[in-house]
Amino acid sequence: MTINYLTRSVLGVAAPTIMGEQGITSEQYSWITGAFQIGIMFQPVAGYVLDIAGLRYGFTFFVLIWSLITMAHGLVQGWLGFLALRGALGLVEGGAQPAGMKVVSQWFPARERGTAGGLYQIGASLGAVAAPPLVAWAVLTHSWRAAFFVAGGLGLVWLILWLFWYQTPARHRAITAEERTKILDGQEAELQQKRKRPDLRTMLRRRDMWGIALPRFLADPVWGMLSLWMPLYLVQVRNFDIQQIAIFAWLPFLAADLGCLAGPALVAWLQRRGVHLIDARRGAFTIGAVLMCSMMFVGVVQSPVAAIALLCVAGFAHQTLSVTVITMSADLFPQDEVATATGIAGTAANLGVLIFTLLLGSWVDQVGYGPFFILLGLLDLVGAAILWTLVRKPV
C-alpha cells in the first residue's frame, strides 16, 4: 500500500507546479482526478479477478501495469494526456485494497485482523507522507516528471520482492507447522467454507454489504481532499511555496498513520470489556466520526498552523474509522468473497470521491474551500448511523 499510495499521491503534491506550467484549470484538474476515480470504481472486477486467479499472479499483473503507467506520467504534455493516464491508473490500482484485505484474511486469525488491517492501512499513509518531500526534491533538483519516474520504478522493485516472498500460509516454507495451525484454527469456520466463485448478486442483496459500502462512500471524500486537493489549498489560500509544502503537507498523513493504530486499539480495548467484535468496530468508527467534525473549522481559522493542525486531526480521524470499516469485509464475508466485498465497498468509496472532486473543481473558484470543509466534517456522522443500522452481527 505504501508504493500504491505513493504513485497516487505524487500528482496531488505536484499539481500546483504542473497546473502552472501547463495552464490546467481547477475544473480540468477535477476531471483528471475524476478519471482516476472512474477507473478505480471497477475495483469489484479487480477483486473478482484476485478471488478467481489467486493473489500471487493476479496482483503481480496489477502492480506491473500501474508502475509502468505511473512512469508514463512523466512523459505527458497537456491535461488530456493526464486524463487518459489517470483513468488507466485507476483501473489497475483497483486491485490494491482487495489484495491487501485478502492477505489479511488469509494470514491472520480473526482476533488479530484489526491490528493487521491497521498496519496494512499505515502503508497508504506512508505513501502519502513520502510524496511531498519526493515531489519537492524532484521540482527543486530536476523537474516534476522525475517524481513519477521514481515512484513507478519503486513499484517495479517491490514487485520482485513480492514474487520472491509471497505464498499462502498453507504453502509458505518460512513458517512452522505450529504457526500454520494457529493461523488456520483462528479463522472462523463458517467463513472458510469453499465456494467456486463469489456470487455478486447475492452479495449485493446483503444488508451487510451496503452497511459497509455506504459509510465508505461518505468517508473517502476526506482522503480525496487530503491527497488530491490539500496541496492546492495550501498554495492558493495559505500561500505556501513548494518548500513549505514539503515541510507541512506530510503531517496530516503522519497523523493518519497514528489513526491506523488507534482504530484497532480502540476495537481491542472495547473487546476486552466484553463488547462484541462488530459493535466494537462500530464504536471505533463512531469515535472517528465525532473527531472528524474538526474538519469544519479548517476554512475558518486564520492561522496556517491552526489549519494544518485541524487537517492533522482530520487525517487521524479518517484513518481511525477507515481501517475499522475496511476490515469488516473480512469479518462478514467468506475468504473466497473478501476481495470482491472489499472491491464493492471500494467502488462506493471512490464514487464518493469522484462526486466530491467534480463538485469541488466546478465550484471552488466561486465559493472557496470553506463550504466543502464543513460538508466533510459532517458526512461521517451519517456514515456512523448507517453502520449501526444496516450491519448485523453474525449469528
- Average pLDDT of 100-129? 71
Domain assignment of residue 150, yes or no? yes
Domain assignment of residue 179, yes or no? no
Number of domains into which the chain is organized: 1
Amino acid identity, residue 92?
V
Domain assignment of residue 187, yes or no? no
pLDDT tens-place string over residues 265-278: 999 999 999 999 99
CB within 8 Å of 61: residues ≥ 6 apart: 95
Amino acid identity, residue 273?
R
At 114, the pLDDT band (50, 70, 90 cuts) reads: low
In the numeric block, which cell numbers belong to residue 350? 471512490
Cβ of 170: how many Cβ atoms within 10 Å? 10
Q: Domain range holding 377?
A: 2-165+207-390
* CATH code of residue 94: 1.20.1250.20
Whole-angstrom Cα distance, residue 50 to residue 164? 19
Instruction: Identify which of 100-114, 127-141, 239-253 has the greatest average pLDDT.
Output: 239-253
Please, are residues 114 and 186 in contact by the beta-carbon 8 Å criterion?
no
Domain assignment of residue 313, yes or no? yes
Domain assignment of residue 184, yes or no? no
Whole-model pTM: value is 0.82
Domain assignment of residue 186, yes or no? no
- pLDDT on residue 218: 98
Residue 207: closest CA among 381, 346, 341: 341
- Average pLDDT of 224-246? 93
Residue 234: closest CA among 255, 259, 252, 219: 252
- pLDDT on residue 156: 93
Domain assignment of residue 311, yes or no? yes
Whole-angstrom Cα distance, residue 276 to residue 271? 6
Whole-angstrom Cα distance, residue 328 to residue 121? 13
Asked if pLDDT for residue 191 goes beyond 60, the answer is no
Asked if pLDDT for residue 57 goes beyond 90, the answer is no
Q: Choose between 297 and 186: higher pLDDT.
A: 297
Domain assignment of residue 202, yes or no? no
